[in-house]
Structure 1
Amino acid sequence: MSVSVSVDAETNVVGLIGHPVEHSMSPAMHNAAFKELGLNYVYLAFDVPPERLEGAVRGAADLGIVGLNVTIPHKEAVMELCDELDRDAELTGAVNTVRFSRGKIEGFNTDGEGFLRALQEETDFDPRGTKSVILGAGGAARAVSFKLATEGADEIVIANRTVSRAERLAEELREKVGVKARAIGLDGDEIERELQDADLLVDATPVGMYPNENEPPLVTADQMREDLIVNDLVYNPPKTRLLEEAEKAGAVPVSGVGMLVYQGALAFELWTGEEAPVDVMREAVLEHLQ
């Protein structure tokens, strides 16, 4: 899907700030959506080093830019520049979407809701009363675990190489939401024990991401059970080695492409007020991945 963009004096500008940004799929995804709906918007990617973050955000507001997606390494630092935060941004301690509105800088986090919508599109998963095992304790793991907790999960286990970092996240989950949360390491036997009665496994680490797609997965088929839902948040490649292991085990594999698309779709709707053409956005991502 090639997307030609027409720009004139009335074109609304949105974009992405991060460092680096050259491999982002967001421009293709959003510009395809704008074209589909006939909206006079353009999405650009801006490489902004950390020392230029404040100037970039305040400059974007002054220039009349409608909004920005925010990626590594700015998701936490940009919070200090926001006048208002939504609940998900406050809970997770990170902002991935900014909207400039009524003279204010509004910060949102659409990662958790994007994750849940994508998961529920492909499965019948309902977080209420469930147990989840989350691999990783970084930004993606925070977004996922807080969304599961606020949607009624019964138990969340955070597995991370640095157990102290996992424990900090588990403690926040207990204190802020009241969910039963524990931390463990990445020992295979311990993870296998936790998965015996788990409903959902989420890999929120970059293990298996291109160009390291042949890296061994953190969990293998012999550690999974048949009805386990396995969601790898890595979207490049769309089918990771972890998801191949899930198929071997008869578990339910869920690609990270859906979360990428839905977190973007939610940002799209915050900026435009229009319902995002999710199928068009997904097609643009998958074409970009080929």
Structure 2
Amino acid sequence: MNDVYGVIGDPIAHSKSPIMHNVAFNDNQIEATYVKFHVSKEQLPQAISGLRALDIKGVNITVPHKSSVMPLLDEIDPLANAIGAVNTVVNQNGTLIGYNTDGLGFVEGLKPHIDGELETKSVLIIGAGGAAKAIYYTLASLGVKKIDLTNRTKENGVALINSCPFALESRYLHLSEAETILSDYDVIIQTTSIGMSPSVEQYPLALRQLKNGTVVSDIIYNPLQTTFLKQAKQLGARTQNGLDMFVFQGALAFEKWTGIFPNTIMMKKAVLKQLGGSHVNR
């Protein structure tokens, strides 16, 4: 009998995770199947108990369960515990261990776009939600020393900075202030939902002061090229959409489950093929 893996969320019908994971299982000749589990908030405790009862080897956790799943697990990885969210669960002989591969997945996808060491770069993060926190904490944990943050709500931005357990230089900027000093940054990371389909004409801040060669990343992947990225490219930036983060967070989860790091190029191609190469939804 094949081992079973899956993704738990609400809603979940749109998830493309099974596409790339099943391709990876097949490519590595692993007898396993990855499926979708639609689980409401009320059903989550029973669903997690079911992982043990049914010997499901591992799952991804997506919205709205990334934080609420944590008290239901046996162990939490230190980085996931610091972030306050789990997106990957490993069933290790009945012991459920939670990890967060979102931030690390983002970093792995970003590295090919960076010249030199990421630790030496000056970074600006736009947003202060769950994705921003995972990326901010992960970059800080890896030794990036200068990370500023801009967000529409000052309270949320300052709270994120103050809660980070890792040593770094960081300040909160109003959006209007950040716009005037964009040339200070080597990497700009857009983590909000601004510009996501169907509101594709929106963008979080003006890029007039962007310096040529800055790496501009937008974690949105529907559409693959947001207005924000289009503007950045016109101004000479090196741009990256959110598909790399989606694929690499999945690849790191796959490695947690199997001990094998899969072929990310193949996984990415599988998702793009399924969606006609024009957009992607998780």
Measure the CA separation in 2 of the matches of 1:159 and 1:47: 34
Measure the CA separation in 1 of the matches of 2:117 and 2:86: 25
Query: Are the aligned partners of 1:133 and 1:194 in contact in 2 as well (CA < 8 Å)?
Result: no
After TM superposition, list the pairs within 5 Å mapping 1:182-221 onto structure 2: 182-187=171-176, 190-214=177-201, 216-221=202-207
Q: Which amino acid aligns with 1:101?
A: Q
Which residue does 1:252 correspond to in 2? 238
Cα-to-partner distance string for 1:207-257 (whole Å, 9 max, x where unaligned)? 12223323x211334131112110000112221111111111101101111
After TM superposition, the score normalised by the length of structure 1 is 0.91
2:16 to 25, 30, 54: 25
Report the 3-state secondary structure (helix = DSSP H, G, I; strand = E; otherwise coil) of the residue aligned with 1:69. strand
Query: Are the aligned partners of 1:21 and 1:47 in contact in 2 as well (CA < 8 Å)?
Result: yes
Q: Which amino acid aligns with 2:61?
A: V
Which residue does 2:168 correspond to in 1? 179
Which residue does 1:60 correspond to in 2? 51
Q: Which amino acid aligns with 1:191?
A: A
Moved more, 220-229 or 96-105: 220-229
CA drift at 1:185: 3.1
The alignment status of 1:239 with 2:239, answered yes or no, reads no
Query: Are the aligned partners of 1:111 and 1:259 in contact in 2 as well (CA < 8 Å)?
Result: yes
Query: Are the aligned partners of 1:88 and 1:112 in contact in 2 as well (CA < 8 Å)?
Result: no
After TM superposition, the score normalised by the length of structure 2 is 0.93
Measure the CA separation in 2 of the matches of 1:261 and 1:192: 30
Query: Are the aligned partners of 1:265 and 1:276 in contact in 2 as well (CA < 8 Å)?
Result: yes
Structure 1 unmatched runs, 5+: 1-9
Query: Are the aligned partners of 1:237 and 1:289 in contact in 2 as well (CA < 8 Å)?
Result: no
Measure the CA separation in 2 of the matches of 1:106 and 1:82: 6
After TM superposition, list the pairs within 5 Å mapping 1:1-290 onto structure 2: 10-124=1-115, 126-173=117-164, 176-187=165-176, 190-214=177-201, 216-290=202-276
Q: Which amino acid aligns with 1:62?
A: A
CA drift at 1:125: 5.4
Q: Which amino acid aligns with 1:237?
A: P
Report the 3-state secondary structure (helix = DSSP H, G, I; strand = E; otherwise coil) of the residue aligned with 2:69. helix
Structure 2 unmatched runs, 5+: 277-282
Aligned residues: 276
CA drift at 1:52: 0.9
Q: Which amino acid aligns with 1:79?
A: M
CA drift at 1:121: 2.4
Q: Runs ≥4 in structure 1, deviation > 4 angstroms?
A: none
Please, what is the CA RMSD of the aligned residues? 1.4
Measure the CA separation in 1 of the matches of 2:275 and 2:156: 32
Which residue does 1:3 correspond to in 2? none
Measure the CA separation in 1 of the matches of 2:115 and 2:173: 28
Cα-to-partner distance string for 1:33-89 (whole Å, 9 max, x where unaligned)? 112222211111111111111110111221100011001111011111121111220
Report the 3-state secondary structure (helix = DSSP H, G, I; strand = E; otherwise coil) of the residue aligned with 2:12. coil
Query: Are the aligned partners of 2:123 and 2:188 in contact in 1 as well (CA < 8 Å)?
Result: yes
Q: Which amino acid aligns with 2:263?
A: P
